[in-house]
Amino acid sequence: MAAAVVIVFSVLYFPKTFFYRSVPKAETPEKPSYSFLLADTPEKRIQGLSGMVSLPPNTVLLFSYDNNDSCGIWMKGMKFSIDVVWLDSNFRIIDFKEGLSLLSYPGVFSPVSPCRYFVEAQEGFIKANNIRIGDKVSINFADFLLNF
């Protein structure tokens, strides 16, 4: 009986803890936060955003590699245009491309040098965040948050 009371109390008192992942949005006007989906396996990296109709608001897809890689992408199977930002192992922006569309397939886009991470985002993301080569990106893997 006591165990049942504890379970009922816990579910009523902490419902989000049991059923939802709460993601804090520590946001400032200069540095907006974005939630990210993580592509950290070969299968997820191959799939990327292909086949998706759009990304949820304030969300990007972060590709993560164990070592520096050529990080080339193509637009096969894409249903919307994207911006791509490539990062080195220190989370510095080394290259970016704006407005890549399905019409660019079968072209391949790669950064000027090997990267460790890259971000795929809705078209307009680079302009909206005033992204520049050399900028540092803050990535919080524990809370799945990213700041440009």
- Can you give the pLDDT at residue 90? 95
> Structural domains in the chain?
26-147 (2.60.120.1140)
Residue matched to tokens 């704006």? 98
- DSSP code of residue 41: S
Say which DSSP state 54 is in.
-
Which element (helix H / strand E) includes 122? strand 115-122
SS3 89: coil
> Which pLDDT belongs to residue 22?
30
Q: What is the pLDDT of residue 114?
A: 96
pLDDT number for residue 30: 64
Confidence (pTM): 0.77
89/65 Cα distance (integer angstroms): 9
The answer to whether the beta carbons of residues 97 and 127 sit under 8 Å apart is no
In 3D space, the residue among 66, 45, 59, 115 whose CA is nearest the CA of residue 87 turns out to be 115
State both tokens at 138: 């803050």
d(CA 93, CA 89): 10
pLDDT score recorded for residue 32: 83
Predicted pLDDT of residue 146: 84
pLDDT of residue 110: 95
pLDDT at site 113 = 96
Strand partners, 51: none
65 vs 44: CA distance, rounded Å: 11
Q: Can you tell me which residue has the tokens 């040098």?
A: 113
- Residue ranges in the chain modelled with pLDDT below 70: 1-30
Residue type at position 44? K
